[in-house]
Chain A
Amino acid sequence: METNISLENLNESRERNFMERLSFVKFWARYVRTHSDREWSEQQRVLIDSQMNNSRDFYERLGKTKEGREKIKSIRRLIVNNHKKD
């Protein structure tokens, strides 16, 4: 079955999503301004630490095989080369 995709609808949706993101950023900034550093930073810590732990777990699992270790080397090259293009 063929799906009709309207580019116009897609663009509107993208713009709406961006407005929502910016509205949330404003909401969160207000939260940070009106709450103690300990309160907002505890939430930030949970978010950032969980992402970093996921990343660490991913690399640890990958590093258990020879193929995985090769992939880690490729990722390192990718990080370095992507930057050179900036």
Chain B
Amino acid sequence: MEYDVEKKEIRIDKELNELDKFTISFLNIARDYVDYVIVSGYVSILLGRSRASEDVDLLIPPIEKEVFVNLWKDLESKGFECLNTSNSVEAFEMLDEHAVRFAKDLPIPNIEFKIIKTDIDRHSFDNKLKVILDEKILFISPLETQIAYKLYLGSGKDLEDAKHLYEMFKDKINKDELLRFINRFGVYEKFKLMEEYGNKYKFREFE
């Protein structure tokens, strides 16, 4: 895995799992209609974390009704369905209030499709990183924001996701930017705990 900070690009030559394939199949359709950024758990999974997930979170800028309805038709024709409603206009109206979810065949996994609402959402979108998987391209939230936000969410799983990203990229992430978000979210103690706790138990070195 190579992270080119200047280009804001991460290249991965990975064996795709079912969750990767599901996400790529959705984005292959959606990218013709909307720009997006992937946030939360799937970012860590894409970048190597050893866990699965029930959903993949996407943030998108505000979207016109007509564009959304066309996207809906395209998704439907390729086997995706919305878990919230079978009516595209109703789904569009829901987007003002909350995310809508799309799945294929079964409820899990699903894509959580959400409009940008907060300045943190906007920051993630405006500063997204490009992930190149073979010839496929995905856009993910900047790592500094992602780590701080996961610390803020604070469940065991979230702290582990934050720890994974931090350990993977600590030599390359922008420490000032990370601290800025950590202080903004009020999670400095959790950050220190995450570092301290990860050093408690010894594992062998690789040969």
Contact = CB atoms under 8 A, between A and B. Distances in A.
A45 B167 contact: no
B1 A32 contact: yes
Contact of B109 (A30, A35, A52): A52
B34 to A, nearest CB: 20
Given A29-B168, A59-B106, A45 B15 contact: yes
A31 B203 CA distance: 11
Interface in A32-63: 32-38, 40-45, 47-49, 51-53, 55-56, 59
Q: How large is the interface on A (under 10, 10 to 19, 20 to 34, 35 or more residues)?
A: 35 or more
B31 interface: no
Of A26, A59, A79, the most chain B CB neighbours within 10 A belong to: A26
Nearest to B166: A29
Given A44-B17, A49-B18, A23 B203 contact: yes
B19 A48 contact: yes
Contacts of A18: 156, 159, 197
Interface of A: 18-38, 40-45, 47-49, 51-53, 55-56, 59, 72, 75-76, 79-80, 83-84
Given A26-B203, A37-B1, 14 more contacts: A22-B194, A23-B200, A23-B201, A24-B203, A26-B198, A29-B164, A29-B167, A31-B206, A32-B1, A35-B206, A41-B14, A44-B49, A59-B108, A83-B98
15 contacts: A18-B159, A18-B197, A25-B198, A33-B168, A38-B15, A41-B14, A45-B16, A47-B50, A51-B52, A52-B18, A52-B52, A55-B108, A75-B107, A80-B84, A84-B98
